[in-house]
Chains A and B, each alone.
Chain A
Amino acid sequence: MSRKRIALLIGLLAVVVTVTAGQCGAPKAKFQCTDPLGCVDIKPGEPVHIAYMMVVTGPDESLGLDTKYGVEIAIDDKKEILGHPILLTGEDTGCNAEGGQAAAQKIAADPTIVAIVGTNCSSEARPAAPIISQAGMVMVSPSNTAPDLTDPAKHQPGYLRTAHNDKVQGAAMAKFAWEYLKVKRAATIHDGSLYADQLQQVFAEEFKKLGGTITAQEAVDPKDTDMRPVLTRIAATQPELIYYPIFIAAGGFITSQAREIPGLENVYLASADGTFSPDFVKAAGEAALGMFHSSPDFGAFGAGYKDFLQKYETKYGRKPLAPFHAHAYDAAMMIFTAIEKVAVQDPDGTLHIGRQALRDALFATKDFKGLTGNLTCTPTGDCADPKIAVYQMMNTDPAKWNPGSCDECNPKKIWP
Chain B
Amino acid sequence: MLRQLLRRVTLVDIFMWIIGLLLIAMVVYGSARTLASGKYAPTEWLNLTVTGIALGGIYALIALGYTLVYGILRMINFAHSEVFMSGPFTAYFLADALDKAGYFDRSPILSLLLVMVLSMAVATTVAVLLERIAYRPLRTAPRLVPLITAIGASFFLQYTFRGLFGSGVKGYPETDWFKRKWCLPGTQACISTTQILVIVAAVLMMVALYAFVQWTKIGKAMRAVSEDKETAALMGIDVDRVIATTFAVGGALAGVAGVLYALMFRQVQFFMGFVPGIKAFTAAVLGGIGNIPGAMLGGLFLGIFEALGPNLFLDGLGIPAPYQLKDAIAYTMLVLILIFRPTGILGERLARKKA
Contacts and interface: CB of A to CB of B under 8 A. Distances in A.
B324 A219 contact: yes
Contact of B266 (A229, A260, A261, A283): A283
B40 A249 contact: no
B174 interface: yes
A226 B266 contact: no
A248 interface: yes
A72 B98 CA distance: 35
A253 B44 contact: no
A116 B119 CA distance: 43
B282 interface: no
> Interface residues of B: mostly helix, strand, loop or mixed?
helix
Contacts of A232: 40, 44, 47-48, 311
Nearest to A286: B174
A279 B323 contact: no
B306 A226 contact: yes
Nearest to B274: A223
Contacts of B323: 218-220, 229-230, 233
Interface stretch (B2-10, B15-23, B164-172, B293-301): B164-172
A318 B168 contact: yes
A365 interface: no
B275 A249 contact: no
A337 interface: no
B274 A226 contact: no
Interface string B154-182: 00000100000011111100100000010
B265 interface: yes
Interface residues of A, number: 42
Given A282-B169, A318-B166, A253 B265 contact: yes
A226 B322 CA distance: 14
B169 A283 contact: yes
A285 B39 CA distance: 31
A225 B265 contact: yes
> Interface residues of A: mostly helix, strand, loop or mixed?
helix
Given A226-B55, A252-B267, A285-B174, A321 B168 contact: yes
Interface string B63-107: 000000000000000000000000000000000000000000000
B311 A229 contact: yes
A279 B266 contact: no
Contacts of A279: 168-169
B137 to A, nearest CB: 28
Find the residue from B47, B55, B167, B274 having the highest chain A CB count within 10 A. Answer: B167
Interface in A273-290: 279-286
A65 B190 CA distance: 41
Given A62-B168, A218-B321, A218-B323, A229 B307 contact: yes
B43 interface: yes
Contacts of A235: 44
B320 interface: yes
Interface in A244-288: 248-249, 252-253, 256, 260-262, 279-286
B327 interface: yes
Given A226-B51, A233-B323, A65 B265 contact: no
Given A249-B269, A262-B43, A283-B266, A61 B274 contact: no
B326 interface: yes
Contacts of B166: 317-318
A27 B123 CA distance: 64
Contact of A236 (B39, B169, B267): B39
Contacts of A221: 324, 327
A282 B324 contact: no
A221 B306 CA distance: 13
Interface in A36-88: 57, 59, 61-62, 65
B231 interface: no
B188 interface: yes
B269 A285 contact: no
B16 to A, nearest CB: 29
B181 to A, nearest CB: 8
A217 interface: yes
A285 B192 contact: no
B212 interface: no
A228 interface: yes
Interface string B254-270: 00000001001111010
Contact of B324 (A62, A192, A226, A262): A192
Nearest to B307: A229
Contacts of B310: 229-230, 233
Contact of B48 (A229, A285, A321): A229
B48 A223 contact: no
Contacts of A262: 43-44, 47, 188
A248 to B, nearest CB: 5
Contacts of B306: 226, 229
Contacts of B128: none
Contacts of A283: 169, 171, 266-267
Contacts of A249: 169, 267, 269
Interface in B26-68: 39-40, 43-44, 47-48, 51, 55
A307 B329 CA distance: 50
B331 interface: no
A261 B44 CA distance: 9
Contact of A228 (B47, B269, B276, B324): B47
Given A218-B324, A228-B307, 6 more contacts: A57-B159, A219-B324, A228-B51, A232-B44, A248-B169, A283-B267
The 6 A-B pairs of least Cβ separation, nearest first, read A282-B171, A230-B323, A219-B321, A219-B324, A262-B188, A223-B275
21 contacts: A65-B167, A219-B323, A223-B271, A225-B267, A226-B55, A228-B51, A229-B310, A229-B326, A230-B323, A233-B315, A235-B44, A252-B266, A253-B267, A260-B181, A260-B190, A260-B192, A262-B43, A262-B188, A279-B168, A279-B169, A321-B168
